[in-house]
Structure 1
Amino acid sequence: MLRRRHKKSRKGCLECKRRHIKCDETRPRCINCSTAQRECPYPVTGDGAENAPAEVPASPGISPTGSGSVSGLGPGPISSEDIEILPEVPPFPTAEYESPKVDMVHMELLNHFLTDGAMVYPLAVARARSIVMEQALRESYLMHQILAISARHLSIIRPHNETFYHTQAMQLQTHALSLFNSIDISYFEASVDNRVPGFIFSAVLGFHGLCDMLSHRNEDFPSVLARFVGYLHLHRGVYHIMEGHWEEIQETDLKPIFDEGMFWFQMVGKGHECDDIRERIELAGLETDELEATCKAIDLLQCVFDGQPDPVSVIHVLISWGAMVPKPFINMVETGRPEAMAVLAYYFLALHRLRHVWMIGDAGQFLLRVVVDYLNPEWSAWVEKPYRLLMDYLEGDALESQHQLSNEPGYSPGLTMARDFTILRPTAADAARIAEIHLAAMDSNPLLHVQFPTPESLEALRAFLATYTASQLDNPVSGVLVARDPETGGVASFAKWDSPSHPENVKLESGDLQYSEGCSREFLDGYVALAEEAKARSFGDKACYRLSFVCTDPANQGQGAGRLLTRRVLEMAAADGLPVYLESTEVAVPMYEKFGFKAIDAFEMEIPTRSGSTALSEIYREVCMLWHPTKAASSQADGMDVCHGTIF
């Protein structure tokens, strides 16, 4: 292998000096530190010359310092501190390493790759593994990268030794890059066969970059986007290796891999998961090359959702997606175009579909939530479909997990399995049953018994609620739904709300209830005043859905009725593009947080104990919560079968 002598770096970073390796002096982070994910401090001198940015090639949409902009997304551009571009892989000299001594750890890593190669690196299936190993034995930089990805896999599947194997992975990858970058360009130009191991190296290095990108949990979207763009640069380094030699290399030992990759690229999705985003993209007024590239990116994702051509190939398509999509789409991602961010939401959803793959896990749902939370409201409709599908997947996971647990010996369920309740509008004949459920579900709330302290007052309340509900049902657009048991036909739960599309003529607390027999108006009126003040203070009079009650008969709690009703109300609010506001008792706050509600205010009042004492000896508190259509969280809230607040 031809090598070029190098002079020592005199202006390199302190970390490279400490490790006695050559620094390429790229600012703000050199290639060695970026690859190993280390801090990259540079020495400071009086004239400031050491801090001058090095000249590096600018990628489309990314400035030489690594800064870019995210148009139409969130508050402002990405700063240079947000960008952490991982290195590309065109051959240029950086350093010559003294080869580390081979030890038993390396033997373990090699054996792990040879015995579990398809698990470690999904593209290393039987038909390709022999090619990979043949080339790795030929070129040490490729062998070190193979050992690095093997160590990265062990860091995940052996969590008790995670730090050890992760460190091994970073050290081996750093050494692999150093060996690769020290190769003289003339070596690759001498023969196309010399580019074969470079192609494999770039592919494995890109996969390693994807693993590292998916492992991070930074909820700051500019940082997430910067890391994702860095991964794309790394994975697409294969184009630099093969530039001008694509036809020749397809006739080498890599021909079977290229033929299969071309087959994948030409596939067209047949399912409907991506219909919504495809229609929006076609109407978005993109340039011709952008439109074609984005539609190809969508086609590949639809194939993943379809599970075609086979389960193994689906994994290959998804992990190669960043390298397969056309360049115009990559440019849109680099510049943060919101249309591209919406497509990324589907990519992250597809990742969640393959969460069983070792390097994916829960990364898909995490990244999808970050994108959805960051997009401005005018783009919320673009990502509503993937988010709703994610919620369905998560709910299915929860039910499957509970089903598996219920089959374990000695299992004593705390919650009954969800049932197929029918969600529909009640009839006038259901009014009395709704009133009965209302009182039964609210029985544990201390404020109810302060406001209606005697059996006679509670009976008067029950009669009032039955009459009031019947009057609501006379209004065809009033906000009332029930969950009906399909076997018995009985009502198990109900939800009530107020909204611009489901208005109430008279608020319950403002009507004749205050005159009912035995009502303690001091605590009824006092609660109403505090609740309205809190809403005015925290949310004002902006249009919203105001969820008043979600109450489930105690005999039916834990069966999912309350969850289904809540989801239905959230879906209607999302269709209207409106948030949902509610007041919740503190015990129910965690359940609403699972739906994506956020606490925005709270209020409290002093009340007597339930025993009937007149002394104000207890603090009653409620939390004001708000849900936005694109910021909902998991619908796994199986416990959502109790009333969320007080009686009013």
Structure 2
Amino acid sequence: MLRRSHKKSKGGCTQCKRRHVKCDEARPICRLCANSDRDCSFANESNASQYSTIQKASGEHSGSSRLHTYPETASSASTTPLTVTSVTSSPDHTSPGRPATTCHDDPSVEEAVNLNHMELIIHATLHKEELFNLGDPIDDYHAFLELSLGLHTSLKYPYLLHQLLAFSARHLAYLHPERSNHYIHQAMSLQTRAISLFKAEWTDVNHSNCVAILLFSTVIGHHLLAETLSKRDPGGLDAFLTHFIQCIETQRGMYIIAKEAWPLLMESELKPVLSSSLNFTSREPIGTHCFDIKQLLRSANGLSEEERQACDLAINYLQIGLDAVLAEPSGLSPKQAYRYQMIFNWTMLAAPEFTVLLATKRPEALVVLAYYAVLLHHGRSMWQVGDAGPYILGLVSESLGSEWQSWLEYPRSMIVGSSAATTIT
């Protein structure tokens, strides 16, 4: 059979040369390869320049509504920075000093690139309410902003994309304990990369990046809290406090950054969420559940006025949280689960002086922590919390001497007295 003659293209792509067809030499993918959904590569381009071209092309289309994939190296499906590219483009699996590899050369590459991250994106989209069920009382609107706005914003700020995927992986680890090691590894790798990208890009807060920074700080805060409350490391209270204080300090740092951007954020799409959150944390405590610990604080010796105020602030926030969880009937749907918001906010709002008291295992601060365990126990149905309440109370009870056990009567009655509680010795 005679082949139709054509003028040869010296700079054509490898695929067109193999097929003996004329290539239009369009970068990063020629028209024929785009139409036939083939992997397009040019032998006369270096790996670095090809990667740069794909990045530039993806940036030009970041605002479009086209489907996107998130490529990574075949050797590590979790740690490599995600590069947003058009679905018609072939993922770039090259790195400087390494021969180019296509999906045809290594069949496992396509699965590692497309399925791992797409699984996380799809999971986050389908389970957005459950992912952010410690959020603000705006029903679907909060989840919509948290995820939809987050994914759109992450096209410009990759650190946000990495963190969203990391949090999705952490939720999958909870849902599928048989594969938890796989998902936890993904979550850790993606979060590590997210923090690295954030630090590298950080300059100051402005109109262009304030939404990305707030969303990033919120998602990473939820992730760190879920990770911390799931810890069951050997070492008792000391080991837990190490993780817990690190979580508090990280959340506080992100909270301070977000506060700097508050005027800018109130001009953004996030204004309804922020206003609602401010209204909640600004409430006056109503109940008397923390009355005993208030008495303890007044009679405590050796506390400075700043330390006493820090403890008092922590107790007030706990009472606001207890007011919320006890004011609503049981059996709430995920849309109504905002009543547990103080579980997340309490660690974010903790004063530095209180954190120091926790780090030194000051008994008064540990009793306050036991009351936080009560709040956690009320939210035990949340995937981020589980049995963290009885676990923390047990650690505190074992650490404090007999003279402090009477101050734990309320936390113990609320947790041990519950039929769903774990026995605490």
Give the TM-score normalised by structure 2. 0.65
Give yes or no for the alignment of 1:127 onto 2:145.
no
More helix by share: 2
Displacement of 1:261 after TM fit? 1.6
The answer (yes or no) to whether the contact 1:352–1:363 under 8 Å persists in 2 is yes
Displacement of 1:240 after TM fit? 4.3
Give yes or no for the alignment of 1:387 onto 2:412.
yes
Rate the CA distance shift 1:282–1:134 in 2: closer, same or farther, 3 A. Answer: farther
The answer (yes or no) to whether the contact 1:206–1:236 under 8 Å persists in 2 is no
Distance 2:294 2:306 in 1: 15
Counterpart among 195, 200, 219 of residue 204 in structure 1: 219
| Amino acid aligned to 2:269 | D
Give yes or no for the alignment of 1:281 onto 2:304.
no
Rate the CA distance shift 1:98–1:362 in 2: closer, same or farther, 3 A. Answer: closer
Report % sequence identity.
31
The answer (yes or no) to whether the contact 2:340–2:379 under 8 Å persists in 1 is yes
Displacement of 1:171 after TM fit? 1.7
Distance 1:383 1:193 in 2: 48
Partner of 1:397: 420
Task: Give deviations 1:59-97, integer Å, cap 9, x for gaps.
Answer: xxxxxxxxxxxxxxxxxxxxxxxxxxxxxxxxxxxxx96
Rate the CA distance shift 1:170–1:297 in 2: closer, same or farther, 3 A. Answer: same
Rate the CA distance shift 1:339–1:361 in 2: closer, same or farther, 3 A. Answer: same
| Amino acid aligned to 1:358 | W
Task: Give deviations 1:110-132, integer Å, cap 9, x for gaps.
Answer: 11111211201223852232333
Distance 1:315 1:270 in 2: 16
The runs of 5 or more residues in structure 1 that have no matched partner are 1-95, 399-593, 596-631, 634-648
Partner of 1:338: 363
The answer (yes or no) to whether the contact 1:136–1:142 under 8 Å persists in 2 is yes
Rate the CA distance shift 1:181–1:156 in 2: closer, same or farther, 3 A. Answer: same
| Amino acid aligned to 1:279 | Q
Displacement of 1:230 after TM fit? 0.8
| Amino acid aligned to 1:301 | L
Distance 2:229 2:247 in 1: 10
Distance 2:361 2:340 in 1: 26
**Matching of residues 155-554 of structure 1 within 5 Å:** 155-185=173-203, 188-189=204-205, 191-218=206-233, 219-242=235-258, 244-284=260-300, 286-307=303-324, 312-393=337-418, 396-397=419-420
The answer (yes or no) to whether the contact 2:211–2:270 under 8 Å persists in 1 is yes
Distance 2:266 2:395 in 1: 39
Rate the CA distance shift 1:288–1:261 in 2: closer, same or farther, 3 A. Answer: farther
The answer (yes or no) to whether the contact 2:390–2:416 under 8 Å persists in 1 is no
Distance 2:395 2:130 in 1: 28
Rate the CA distance shift 1:98–1:274 in 2: closer, same or farther, 3 A. Answer: closer
Secondary structure of the equivalent of 2:383? coil
Secondary structure of the equivalent of 1:132? helix
Rate the CA distance shift 1:288–1:166 in 2: closer, same or farther, 3 A. Answer: same
Distance 1:212 1:201 in 2: 16
The runs of 5 or more residues in structure 2 that have no matched partner are 1-78, 84-90, 92-112, 329-335
324-333 vs 219-228, which deviates more? 324-333
Distance 1:252 1:328 in 2: 33
Secondary structure of the equivalent of 1:138? coil
Distance 1:397 1:172 in 2: 34
The answer (yes or no) to whether the contact 2:82–2:158 under 8 Å persists in 1 is no
Give yes or no for the alignment of 1:113 onto 2:124.
yes
Task: Give deviations 1:357-409, integer Å, cap 9, x for gaps.
Answer: 0121112111110111001233222223212321111xx338xxxxxxxxxxx
| Amino acid aligned to 1:149 | F
The answer (yes or no) to whether the contact 1:267–1:299 under 8 Å persists in 2 is no
Rate the CA distance shift 1:276–1:112 in 2: closer, same or farther, 3 A. Answer: same
Displacement of 1:274 after TM fit? 1.6
**Matching of residues 16-31 of structure 1 within 5 Å:** none
User: How well do the aligned residues superpose, as a CA RMSD in angstroms?
Assistant: 2.6
| Amino acid aligned to 2:314 | A
Secondary structure of the equivalent of 1:182? helix
**Matching of residues 567-582 of structure 1 within 5 Å:** none
Determine which structure has more spread, i.e. the larger CA radius of gyration.
1
Rate the CA distance shift 1:155–1:137 in 2: closer, same or farther, 3 A. Answer: same
Rate the CA distance shift 1:184–1:276 in 2: closer, same or farther, 3 A. Answer: closer
> Number of matched residues?
302
Distance 1:288 1:265 in 2: 23
The answer (yes or no) to whether the contact 1:215–1:363 under 8 Å persists in 2 is yes
The answer (yes or no) to whether the contact 2:173–2:184 under 8 Å persists in 1 is yes
| Amino acid aligned to 1:373 | E
Distance 2:263 2:300 in 1: 35
Rate the CA distance shift 1:116–1:281 in 2: closer, same or farther, 3 A. Answer: same
The answer (yes or no) to whether the contact 2:217–2:255 under 8 Å persists in 1 is no
Give the TM-score normalised by structure 1. 0.44
Structure with bigger RCO (C-alpha 8 Å, 6+ apart): 2
The answer (yes or no) to whether the contact 1:135–1:197 under 8 Å persists in 2 is yes
Distance 2:194 2:409 in 1: 42
The answer (yes or no) to whether the contact 1:151–1:169 under 8 Å persists in 2 is yes
Secondary structure of the equivalent of 2:120? helix
Task: Give deviations 1:178-237, integer Å, cap 9, x for gaps.
Answer: 22121152xx35x24313211211221121111111111135221111111111112222
Secondary structure of the equivalent of 1:109? helix
Distance 1:326 1:248 in 2: 24
The answer (yes or no) to whether the contact 1:121–1:149 under 8 Å persists in 2 is no
Rate the CA distance shift 1:354–1:263 in 2: closer, same or farther, 3 A. Answer: same
Displacement of 1:288 after TM fit? 3.8
The answer (yes or no) to whether the contact 2:380–2:386 under 8 Å persists in 1 is yes
Displacement of 1:146 after TM fit? 0.6
